[in-house]
Structure 1
Amino acid sequence: VQGGQPGDLSQAINHQDRLERALRQQIQRERRSLESGLAVLASIGSTSPFIGLFGTVWGIMEALKGISAAGSASLETVAGPIGAALIATGVGIAVAVPAVLVYNYFLRSLKLTAADLDDFAHDFYLLAQKSAFKLIVNPAPARATGAVKEAS
């Protein structure tokens, strides 16, 4: 080890790399935390139209079975199952649209927050670089505390 006692790691620590790594890791932790519910919203938004479509196909199959059993395609035979099929489609769309809108809102918010965190990390890194990555302790609070003790 250069310039220190054997086993003294303080000289071997690169404070610049450690700070940069710590900032990067914290930003990643914050991103993971903010992204936690987005996968569920994306899944709901993308699968609910297909579930509605499945209900539509099911309703049409029921309508065709009714036509087959009745032997005629009268309005009474077809209207009930087709109406149910259209309700399934409507519900699928009614679930998908808000889920996609909310997903897009939170994704945009996540991107803005990530950009703010990156800006903060960059500014903090520059400040640390100006002080040569040394911790500067402000002695003013210690003096104020000592002054209060002396006055008591």
Structure 2
Amino acid sequence: MKKLLLSIVIVFGMSNLNAQSFGLKAGVDFASLKSKVESFSVSVSETGFYIGAFADIGVSESFSFQPEVLYVSIDELDQIHIPLMAKFPVTEKLNILAGPALGLLLDSGDGIKSFNYGIEAGAAYDITEKFFIEARYNLGLANLLEDAPNDPSLKMSGFFIGAGYKL
């Protein structure tokens, strides 16, 4: 956990040097937990919310790096979600985002790992210079079950829809 917090501080510390903008964002998360045992699988869906901050670090005219720290609340699965997104402009107002995402489950129970990871992709549309909307999908890759070999598995994914404001 100390390494994860240190990584967050380093990412946002470095982004302070070259950041073109910082901002805040919030929205709805449609999460799903998929449990699989042998050939049998069950999915459970929950709706929650997210709120957090981001930095937009310009690397070139056609690419920027957007690290984020989000608090995601989904029933009993609250987590700190850390997407590390590559941002590519498609048009002046439309951007494609993709990258890895890390997560720290805050209230994992017995037999559940607290560290989550996956890949995330989506799009953001600038309504004004400061205000944007976004939609993303996070595909959970981590098996959240403690001491489980390949089978059984428990994975968490989510679809995010929200809005943000660049400070």
TM-score, normalised via structure 1 length = 0.24
Larger Rg: 1
More strand by share: 2
The structure whose residues are more often helix, as a share, is 1
Comparing both chains, which one has the higher relative contact order based on Cα–Cα distances under 8 Å and sequence gaps of 6 or more? 1
Length-normalised TM-score, structure 2: 0.23
